[in-house]
Structure 1
């Protein structure tokens, strides 16, 4: 597999397809008509692939995306159709798969932080479509985070998931999302305290996210 196809106009990220079906409708109907599941792939695969590439590089992103949708297809009968949009579910599957490569991710981040270059990290550092370009200072800060804190921070900053969506994706309480995000943000800011450009980019990305719009990251959330 060489990566997902580009999203068709009017599909990726939208709530309904051309026939008026939302994600939950597609998943439910695909139980009897499996071919309909391809519509879910068309709608969300580009975003999942982009997120995985930012975390692990382009090569790994192909496999992560393919496996995410294979798992989603195989487990679709257990999907809770009360959740009309499948983005959190799909990002949760992808996050679990990415987590299995955490040593690779951290090793690449540390190499990028130390030398400014890494064969894996080079494919996702300083990307023009990233609101937070992964350059050496930020790479070191991300590498220092726990896997759980890194998942929450990057699902917010790069996947544009809201608090509740992150909670659904990672199957953790909403309060845990808030405390992890607050802790991750403080650690990253502390690591980059001598580089205001990066802390400003981080704050701008998080403040523009649905997760943080109108919600202050209170220190009281830190456990």
Structure 2
């Protein structure tokens, strides 16, 4: 099983091939593609886990890498870091689980009422901090449109730059900025003053 921590190995350490080089090499040596799994699966899984839960996250990661492998000949080798490309595929897979995501937010919200913050923290500690999943944030995230949520969580949870998010979502940089601004404004309106998060 994939570790759910969000730390990701960089695309290329000193002396290692870049993601683009690995993809190019994998055209002749398909097994080389596994290097990219080692580099990026953990952060993709952590992101999908936060949004969908364990079972769906594992499906998303598996589908993402399978589709990426099949589409590797279409990868733009001018981009040395393939992380935005993987997220582009993962976001499409997550969109197919939209109902699962909405149900997850509802279930998390009910958990606060039924079992309390402290118990919930124990159950989701391996996915995120208790502070992140406080009830007001769960409810605020549920109120965002999927497009707003995609941009916000890519920047906040996947640690993509605005430029990388634009590339992953295949939208202009200005659209990323405007969606992120709207999402942050909506989140702030639903959070009590005592909650300060990187999301906002």
**Both structures adopt the same fold (TM-score exceeding 0.5):** yes
Structure with the larger helix share: 2
How high is the TM-score relative to the length of structure 2? 0.87
2:133 counterpart SS class:
coil
Instruction: Say whether residues 1:155 and 2:151 are aligned partners.
Output: no
1:1-223 → structure 2 map (5 Å cutoff): 3-4=1-2, 12-16=8-12, 20-116=16-112, 126-127=124-125, 130=128, 133-192=132-191, 195-198=192-195, 200-201=196-197, 205-206=198-199
Shift in CA distance, 156/40, structure 1 to aligned 2, threshold 3 Å: same
Answer whether contact 1:23 1:84 (CA < 8 A) is retained: yes
How many residues align structurally? Answer: 193
2:71 counterpart SS class:
helix
> 2:117: which partner in 1?
none
Shift in CA distance, 130/89, structure 1 to aligned 2, threshold 3 Å: same
2:2 counterpart SS class:
coil
How high is the TM-score relative to the length of structure 1? 0.78
Unmatched 5+ stretches in structure 1:
208-223
Q: In structure 1, what is the Cα distance between the partners aligned to 2:41 and 2:122?
A: 18
Answer whether contact 1:125 1:133 (CA < 8 A) is retained: no
Q: In structure 2, what is the Cα distance between the partners aligned to 1:129 and 1:149?
A: 22
CA RMSD of aligned residues (A): 2.6
Answer whether contact 2:140 2:187 (CA < 8 A) is retained: yes
User: Larger relative contact order (C-alpha < 8 A, sep ≥ 6)?
Assistant: 2
Shift in CA distance, 37/55, structure 1 to aligned 2, threshold 3 Å: same
Q: In structure 2, what is the Cα distance between the partners aligned to 1:141 and 1:171?
A: 25
Residue 23 of structure 1: how far off its partner (Å): 0.1
Answer whether contact 2:151 2:165 (CA < 8 A) is retained: yes
Residue 107 of structure 1: how far off its partner (Å): 2.1
